[in-house]
Structure 1
Amino acid sequence: MRTLGLLLILIAGIQGEIPAQTSNEIRHPDHRWVNEFDDKVLFTCPTFNTIVSVSSQHHSYHEDRLWDFKCKSTFNALPACAWTNYVNTMDEEFSFTCPFDSIVTGVEAYHSNYYEDRRWKFYCCRVKNSCNKNCFWTDYLNLFDDYFSWVVPNATYLVGASSYHDNYHEDRRWKYQYCTQQPC
């Protein structure tokens, strides 16, 4: 049956039409998600790169999110990097900023089906003599249960994240902190 469904999608794609999405399917053409529902999220940018965009799709059946991240070239020298400890417990609000003027270059999270939530870690990197300046927080980028995609503004870098969980929706709302980098 699954083969037939894939064949119909292929035929519809050739004809220029995509079959209607059912309530338990997520289709995002040509998109590679970092995780599957209920599985670990683990993403790090290549050396010399930092995260430049974040995309996420919630699914109410799984009460979880798919995640995707893109990177941009950032450092001209080999950065010093470290993973944080978990920045939250299940169902807990958090506000996190990379320490020591560093920039987010990776994320890790695991999902609990009991809490229908995730605990998060961040991978932060920096080079000597660079300091974060002119820092701003976005507004919340998503409503509960919604897709969102955000690109770090030009000439700035992702340095932090803030999120709170709602037990009714079993989802989180997200906002991000970004800064310029200047010599110090």
Structure 2
Amino acid sequence: MHIIVGLGNPGKKYDATRHNVGFEAIDLLAKRNNIEVKRLKHKALCGEGNIGGKKVMLVKPQTFMNLSGQSLLDIVQFYKIDPKNLIVIYDDIDVAVGSLRIREKGSSGSHNGMKSIIYQLQTDQFPRVRIGVGKPQFGDLADYVLGRFPKEEIPTMIETIERAALASEMIVTDGISLAMNRYNG
């Protein structure tokens, strides 16, 4: 089984913010694959189904971003999942708006949700799909990631979230190497 996790913050107040693009990718995956993500379990909204004939669980942690690792540790331990079968989708300020970066493993960078996951799981050996949201030119970083996209960036971000969902499906069905070759950039 693969676990695909989208990072974000729970609550209407955070809908459509830069920090919640991971949740949006999970919503799109759920819609594309007829999976209901509404069962509250392991401090997360979860839904089980299939992608390309392979069993998956879609996850939206409800712990708030900085504590995402608590939810994932529960899931990984409960299902005895190899971290290589965990895919984390999240926003990244170090990637240009509209770009994707898919990696097999790696550090958390400046992302507090990823820091929490790596700390709780005690490994960084799992795939991730980073959705570029860009850096603020000025102002507070927290305000920036908790802010919404300007009107002119919305079409680009809709397309990028769709590519993130497609890349995640490809990781499940065809492996990460093919997904990196097709979707990085």
Give TM-score, length-normalised by structure 2: 0.25
Structure 1 or 2: more helix by fraction: 2
Larger relative contact order (CA 8 Å, sep ≥ 6): 2
Structure 1 or 2: more strand by fraction: 1
Larger Rg: 1
